[in-house]
Amino acid sequence: MNLLYNSTRNAEKKVTASEAILKGLADDGGLFVPEYIPKLDVTMDELKSMSYQETAYAVMKQFLTDFTEEELKHCINSAYDEKFDTEVIAPLVKVGDTYHLELFHGATIAFKDMALSILPHLLTTAAKKNGVTKEIVILTATSGDTGKAALAGFADVPGTKIIVFYPKGGVSRIQELQMVTQKGDNTSVVAIHGNFDNAQSGVKAMFEDKELEKELSAAGYQFSSANSINIGRLVPQVVYYVYAYAKLLENEEIASGEEINVTVPTGNFGNILAAYYAKQMGVPIAKLICASNENKVLFDFFETGVYDRNREFILTSSPSMDILISSNLERLIYTIAGQDAQKNAELMAQLKEKGVYEITPQMRERLADFAGGFATEEECAATIRKTYERTGYVMDTHTSVAASVCAQYRKDSGDDRKCLVASTASPFKFIHSVMTAIDGKYASADEFGLIDELSSISGVEIPNAIKEIRNADIRHEQECDADKMKETVKKILGV
């Protein structure tokens, strides 16, 4: 049976999975969602002996029903190969009394690789299936990690171009270098004078611009997205939560059917939404703990039912989470509104016009699966230091937000279920913040000077992604004001 998709703002018009992946964003500005969340058709006992690739097929075939078995397996096997530095793709590591799901073993050492290594294959397959002849322009805003992972995934992929916007001064030096040294004749990187929300809003505005769409079409181009607003980004992320539970079972860390909690460091809400979808598919997850940094718009939402982006934007040591407009939350809002597209559209219009909306008491009741928490900069640094001192394990700044919130949740709630922490980036990616947290003597050190030191104290080999940028040439130096993104895109494309 074919699983169809509709917009969160219009439930009437249905598209196939491949059409949803191709478009990225619905014509009305909404996000594509499946008509229902499918159930797994294999048991956890069957899943526990499966490889990551086999698990990916078991999960993704349920969502992407218009892809043939051959097409989907080709996409999966092309994505999860030697680009990852471990055969298991997403290792589970026990750290103290929690389990860290390491999602940073791909080419760009961040969790975005888990989905962005497969998205180009899904997208080009979808283009062939739908007879697309135009060149696909991937238009993406990044708070640091999506950009490099998307660039690496789409570099020199035939029939595509990719343009990435990032906030100048709003990403780590290593994140920036990973992007501006990116090779590939079809890649463009632009630093905007503004923050991530400005970049994301600018990209969304271009997707909704009908005149621009006509101009691009006449020039032989069409837009698609590599952000987590694309359902082709979200579905592969469901896989690793299913895989993690099965591996906990295989390793006899949990009993069959035992519920676990999952803590996810959260910015744009895609990664934790994927865990929610895994729960809906049948994975025994109790609480989904949404961990925020000092930009705690999501924590406040879960506490009050009010989403309010009218607040100071804080630059933190976990920049990928420095976000005040969490795009993927719209998919959850649509769900808890009883799949009422009109209600969701009204709330999103309020967010756009006033920067704030409030959900109904009935909708709040449907958020019972979630708990919110946040960690200050001081708490994150302390968590990195204490974890290293107690266990020798070094985590990055984003993972420390989740670990800190997870510990606080356990203490406050008395909930002693085993907890999975989504470990979203290598500590090498945020090396200055990590090393300074471990010992203040590193505060004045050069980022690149700390690489060997981190490798030495953690016992972890320096990742290829870091080795590559040490002496790489800067290839992208373009900058623009936040209100000039459209003109910049047209210039890049020669339209």
- Residues serving a catalytic function are 112
Distance CA 108, CA 342 (A): 39
* Structure tokens that stand for 426 in this block: 């290598």
Q: Per-residue DSSP letters for 305-336? A: SEEE--S-----S-GGG--SS-TTHHHHHHHH
Distance CA 44, CA 261 (A): 17
Give the burial string for 465-487 (b: 16+ CB within 10 Å, else e): bbeebeeeeeebeeebebeebbe
Distance CA 359, CA 348 (A): 11
- Check residue 264 and report its DSSP letter: E
Longest dimension (CA), the chain: 61
Tell me if residue 479 falls in helix, strand or coil: strand
Distance CA 70, CA 111 (A): 26
Distance CA 425, CA 174 (A): 12
- Name the nearest CA neighbour of 80 among 57, 46, 48: 57
Measure the CA dihedral 251/266/142/277, to 10°: 60
How big is the CA angle at 414 (ends 408 and 418), to the nearest 5 degrees? 80
CB neighbours of residue 256 within 10 Å: 10
Distance CA 20, CA 16 (A): 6
